[in-house]
Structure 1
Amino acid sequence: MAAVASTSAVTQALKTVVLKSSDGEEFVVESLVANQSETIKNMIEDGCVQSDVPVPNVVGSVLAKVVEYWNRHSSGKEEELMEWDKEFLKVDRDVLFDLMNAANFLSTKPLLDLCCQAVADTIKDMSVEDVRDYFGIESDFTEEEEAKIRHDNKWAFE
């Protein structure tokens, strides 16, 4: 019980947190908003936040999007958020992947799930070749090996 009280006291004492991106941009975020990140929440609760929180794996432009997501999701209604989320993820593939990596690094599961769903929705009706192009994957099969796989598994390519 005492540990819970002290954790709440630490969180209350830190009204804001300064997040510092890998390229040096700083973002002042309310602690309660930043707590959407399990990583930051744990750092605050463990007393590891003295001045700023380095976010070494995330550039400023992407961290700005993450903070925008946190701010919106800390004060929005679920119905409105669903529509907002659709608009929020209207970004190019590289930004989407960067957001996904940032959400994973910061342990923001709802944002990670949202990004993963966006990728899944994008590739669901693509051909194998289009999926390879989307992810930048080169085929490691010879033409003969690929033809045999396609022949043996016709059902998967229909």
Structure 2
Amino acid sequence: MLPKIDVIRMRCSDGKIVSVEAAAALQSLTLRPLIEDGFDQNIIPIPNVTSDVLSKIFVFCKKHSGAGSSNHKVLKEFDKKFLDVDTNTLYFLLMVSNSCMLSLSLNLIYQKVADLVRGKSPEVIRATFGIQNDFTPEEEAAIRNEHPWAFQ
């Protein structure tokens, strides 16, 4: 039986406190045990995450928790706007979703990343995500020769 908790408070890496409705926070498989154990009297530390990103994730969770709209079309539009961010923000949303074990947002973000890389060359993918090529030309040629199917 879950304790009656209305709001969960979390301290972010920028020092700000984010308050989240328990229904939204309970979607996190990482936070759920803390909440069930009555950790509500304290502030849960969430390192390496800014308050802006954490707030955005839990607005998503609230919308999908049943407290928000149950209309599929409205949720689809909300999800589209949720993912309409730069790649840096997308990265942090992915990291928070992963560390908090929020499968719904994680799957949605994975799909967005897959859509961003689908059909793109390694060079374009590196440019999109700001990834530096750490292979020498010889190493890259060897990889291309070993796995030509990956570069078609």
Place the TM-score, normalised by the shorter chain, in its bin: 0.7 to 0.9
More helix by percentage: 1
> Once superposed, what is the RMSD of the aligned Cα atoms?
2.0
Higher alpha-carbon Rg: 1
Q: Distance in 2 between matches of 1:83 and 1:39?
A: 27
Q: C-alpha displacement at 1:99, in angstroms?
A: 0.5
Q: Indicate whether 1:19 and 2:13 are aligned.
A: no
Q: Distance in 2 between matches of 1:24 and 1:61?
A: 12
Structure 1 residues 153 and 37, CA, compared in 2 at 3 Å: closer, same or farther?
Answer: closer
The residue type paired with residue 69 of structure 2 is G
Q: Distance in 1 between matches of 2:139 and 2:21?
A: 55
Q: Deviations over 1:68-113 (max 9, x none)?
A: 1112112222332122101111100000000010111111111111
Of 39-48 and 131-140, the range deviating more from structure 2: 131-140
How many residues align structurally? 149
Give the TM-score normalised by the residue count of structure 1.
0.82
Residue 106 of structure 1 corresponds to which residue in structure 2?
Answer: 100
Unaligned runs of 5+ in 1: 1-6
Unaligned runs of 5+ in 2: none
Give the TM-score normalised by the residue count of structure 2.
0.84
> 1:36-55 alignment to 2 at 5 Å?
36-55=27-46
Residue 61 of structure 2 corresponds to which residue in structure 1?
Answer: 70
Structure 1 residues 150 and 81, CA, compared in 2 at 3 Å: closer, same or farther?
Answer: same
The residue type paired with residue 31 of structure 1 is A
